[in-house]
Amino acid sequence: MRFCRLGLTILCMSILCWPASQLRAQMRQSIISPEVHQDRRVTFRLRAPQAKQVEVEAGFVQGNQSMKKDENGLWSITLGPVKPDIYEYVFNVDGLPVVDPSNSWLKVWLQNSRNLVEIPGNGPMFYEEQQVPHGTLHIHKYQSKSLGVPRQLYLYTPPGYETNQKTRYPALYLFHGFGDTEDAWTGIGRANLIMDNLIAGNKTKPFIIVMPYGHTPSSPPVMRSIGRYEAFEKDMIEDVIPYVQKCYRVSSEQKDRAIAGLSMGGGQSLTIGLGNLDLFGWVGAFSSAIPEQQNLDKLLAGPESINEKLKLLWIGCGRKDFLFEANHKFLERLKAEKIKHTSNITDGAHEWRIWRNYLNELAPLLFKQDQ
């Protein structure tokens, strides 16, 4: 069962467990939450008249923030001003995590569903929908012969793809993290809008983005545990890439194929990219789950071949990320092995706010002839 179904079930159960009178009151009165003010302060509201304590945990403040209750049982708090970005938040009602019933924008991750709030900037942000030509987002079902099951992928074609019939485009295979699904890079990561804006600004070469489902629950247990990506790699090479090249005008050359991902997807991109240098010319890893020592030794066994065949090896990680130490050691090993790479160590933790930035920084570097 997909993680999103589990998350939505938990959401529904948390709402159903509220007293009926509270639900009726919530429905009678429209509550605006979150309310983003012009000065970038944010007001959160939740009706919970029977609750003894309500807090909000938001990605732009340290720790839970206590909310105050009025005579009608409406809890509220105003925080900020907040730096422009997209943030996660969740309420804590008498010790129970509760999503905001007034906000339908959710990030579902395993059992930890959270709401999202966007704080606008003075001008358009790089991930915002702007008045520029837009690409097309496609959703495909395909039969994975290697896994023996139907699977799904998301695919972005850049503006002009439909009319520019003679061009064969480069492709980036972009992977999500452990708790996400194939829609994460568009629904939360906004990869399609980031690409639209970069292309409109002549900052990147137009290319296709392929976003497959990263989990392989039908494969044998030994092939689907964290750090073991054999089944996913088999699906990628034997099913996904051939399917995309059959259905779309995609270049089949190694120099026109890139692979990148975040967290678990970063581990997959390193494993598959470094393990198949004849297929991929560009590799990116965001806050990556670094392959296990034995696998890493095999992947890095030929530094000369890596330097010769790989156009770019790009590693990004936040200093507060729980995977930072592993990524730091990986970068040190790349230096010791004299393997060419680009590192981008930033502020931030294990969160979409930095992964959107990483994609925005990596995309303009891909498929350059002089790289």
Each residue's pLDDT, cut to its tens digit, for the chain (371 residues) gives 444 444 444 444 444 444 555 544 444 468 999 999 999 999 999 999 999 999 999 999 999 999 999 999 999 999 999 999 999 999 999 999 999 999 999 888 766 789 999 999 999 999 999 999 999 999 999 999 999 999 999 999 999 999 988 999 999 999 999 989 999 999 999 999 999 999 999 999 999 999 999 998 765 554 444 556 899 999 999 999 999 999 999 999 999 999 999 999 999 999 999 999 999 999 999 999 999 999 999 999 999 999 999 999 999 999 999 999 999 999 999 999 999 999 999 999 999 999 999 999 999 999 987 65
What is the amino acid identity at position 280? F
Among 74, 66, 93, 88, smallest CA distance to 30 is for 74
Position 11 scores a pLDDT of: 46
Position 22 scores a pLDDT of: 53
- Could you tell me where the DSSP H helices lie in 201-318? 221-224, 230-235, 241-247, 264-275, 293-299, 303-309
Sequence-ordered list of residues with C-beta below 8 angstroms from that of 327, at least 6 positions apart, any chain: 285, 287, 288, 290, 315, 317, 321
**3-state SS assignment for residue 196:** helix
Position 112 scores a pLDDT of: 77
CATH of 136-365, one of 3.30.70.20, 3.90.226.10, 1.10.287.1770, 3.40.50.1820: 3.40.50.1820
Specify the pTM.
0.87
Position 107 scores a pLDDT of: 87
Position 28 scores a pLDDT of: 44
Among 24, 70, 27, smallest CA distance to 51 is for 70
Rounded to the nearest 10 degrees, what angle do helices 352-362 and 191-200 cross at?
30
Separation between Cα atoms, residue 60 and residue 80, nearest integer Å: 8
What is the amino acid identity at position 361? E
Any idea where the domains of the chain sit in the sequence?
Answer: 3-119, 136-365
Separation between Cα atoms, residue 154 and residue 104, nearest integer Å: 22
φ and ψ at 178, to 5 degrees? -60, -45
Separation between Cα atoms, residue 360 and residue 114, nearest integer Å: 24
Tell me, what DSSP letter sits at residue 272? H
CB atoms within 10 A of CB 369: 7
**Homologous superfamily in CATH for domain 3-119:** Immunoglobulins (2.60.40.10)
Position 10 scores a pLDDT of: 44
